Amino acid sequence: MHFAVAVLVAFALTRDIRIALAIGTIEPLVQTVFFTLHDRLWTRAEAKKAARRAAAEAEGASA
């Protein structure tokens, strides 16, 4: 379904079935790569945020 939508949108924009099929094929691969990168960066940012929060709580408890 996702492939069909991507191809139809690409075809509506380009009016070239070869380009539309290429976009429909490549788009999920690009999306997968960027999702993975985004997820890793988000996880790293959340871990840093949690570490800062824990350090602040530990500092507040010792004062």
Quick check: 14 and 20 in contact, CB under 8 A?
A: yes
| pTM score | 0.64
- For 8-56, write each residue's pLDDT tens digit: 999 999 999 999 999 999 999 999 999 999 999 999 999 999 999 988 8
- Of the pLDDT bands very low, low, confident and very high (cuts 50, 70, 90), residue 63 is low
Task: Report the pLDDT value the prediction gives residue 7, as an integer from 0 to 100.
Answer: 96
| Domain assignment of residue 31, given as a range | 2-62
Task: Report the pLDDT value the prediction gives residue 57, as an integer from 0 to 100.
Answer: 85
Total structural domains in the chain? Answer: 1
Q: How far apart are the C-alpha atoms of 46 and 15, rounded to whole Å? A: 43
Task: Report the pLDDT value the prediction gives residue 20, as an integer from 0 to 100.
Answer: 97
